[in-house]
A and B are shown apart, each in its own frame.
Chain A
Amino acid sequence: MNTSNRLMLTVVCEAVLEPLLEEELPPLGVTGYTITDARGLGSHGRRSGAWRKEGNIRVDILCDPALAERVAEHLRREYEANYGLLIFSAPVQVHSA
């Protein structure tokens, strides 16, 4: 089994942005991601997720630091001013066959 060191870039944002991200991530160089529905509490209040339009999504992207930087910069430039958006990354080990 091979292991490699990568970054897991996590984006928590409003669910309404999902179709925009699906369109914008691949051209930045993202080849894969996982999206899950999310709910919680943050600076934009309680996001209950009880209702599709006020839910959040969590997007996990495995990537190298340069790509993570590029994605984070793009998302912050486009969406930080007007949307609930939280971006963080952590080093992870990827296990693949």
Chain B
Amino acid sequence: MSFEPVVLFFLLGVAAGLARSDLKIPSSIYDALSIFLLLAIGLKGGVMLAEHAEPGMLLDGAVIVLAGALIPFIAFPLLRWVGRMNRADSASIAAHYGSVSVVTFSVGVTFLAQEGQAYEGYMIAFLVLLEMPALVIGVLLARHGQGSVKWGKLLHEVFFGKSIFLLAGGLLIGYLAGAEGIKPLDKLFFDLFKGVLALFLLEMGLVAAGRVADLRAHGPFLISFAMVMPLIAGLLGVVVAWSVGLTLGGALLLATLYASASYIAAPAAMRIAVPEANPGLSIGAALGVTFPFNLFVGIPVYYWMAQTLYRFGG
């Protein structure tokens, strides 16, 4: 199995963080990198969507989004009753795991490029569609009919927060421009993609290293959860992808999306909508464990799961 070198930048960041190196990516550069990644992914998806749009994908899309909405309902009882965590923390963490991580997805895309596997371009649309339902479900689970929720603020954060806004915007621009129209932008958005992803992973490593202390305080349950939950969700993704007839590459990406946990959109949304939940727990698990787990173990495992199912399932 080939090894994707960009993930090594994550390790470099972790090493710098643990060694207390003075390496720091200024927050304005972090913002610029994330804007670039979101737009580049959106554009790429839009271009691919313009080439292969077919009506049948709407039904598949509905199945994929509905099945994805199951993830917080699997995570919540595990956290609440097996992990004995309180309702707010369980719901908030469930929302993080139901939502998706753009960077994990990007690493999945580079993994497929390395393997020479094609995938459905419209998978990128699911980055947008899968981000939202889990956040709303998380808030409903946390509230359980009690207490007030700042729904307006939450929905504004979800729809107009930069991640959804730029992904959806890039998708639309890519779709309207098509492969020919986007050519002048290729050099910036597509050729530089992997290099920028490497820089971003360096920063994620630095941030994740700062999370290690948080996790130590919260014990073995959460750490195990953060590795078992992506495997359950990844398996669900492979099965759903197979049942709606996605390609092998599409199956890997769907598994990666289901398995990934949000650490950008979800923390902000949960901080506003479920303020009594401890953000250290959810971000620590999502970023400190699940993100590197998916990078180094998860993605190759989901690929293996997909290959196995596609071989025997036909």
Contact = CB atoms under 8 A, between A and B. Distances in A.
Interface of A: 14, 16, 19-20, 37, 45-46, 48-55, 79, 81-83
28 contacts: A16-B268, A19-B153, A20-B272, A45-B280, A46-B210, A49-B27, A50-B24, A50-B27, A50-B30, A50-B206, A50-B207, A50-B210, A51-B27, A51-B30, A51-B207, A52-B27, A52-B30, A52-B31, A53-B264, A53-B267, A53-B268, A53-B271, A53-B283, A54-B279, A55-B27, A79-B275, A81-B276, A83-B271
A82 B142 CA distance: 15
B25 interface: yes
A55 B207 CA distance: 12
B153 A48 contact: no
B73 to A, nearest CB: 25
Given A20-B153, A81-B276, A82-B275, A50 B268 contact: no
Q: How large is the interface on B (under 10, 10 to 19, 20 to 34, 35 or more residues)?
A: 10 to 19
Nearest to B214: A45
Contacts of B280: 45
Interface of B: 24-25, 27, 30-31, 153, 206-207, 210, 264, 267-268, 271-272, 275-276, 279-280, 283
Contacts of B267: 53
Contacts of A46: 210
Contacts of B30: 50-52
A16 B31 contact: no
A75 to B, nearest CB: 13
Nearest to B88: A82
B163 to A, nearest CB: 12
B263 to A, nearest CB: 8
B210 A48 contact: yes
A44 to B, nearest CB: 9
A23 to B, nearest CB: 9
A50 B206 CA distance: 9
Given A50-B206, A51-B207, A53-B271, 13 more contacts: A16-B271, A19-B153, A37-B27, A49-B27, A50-B25, A50-B30, A50-B207, A50-B210, A52-B27, A52-B30, A53-B283, A55-B27, A81-B275
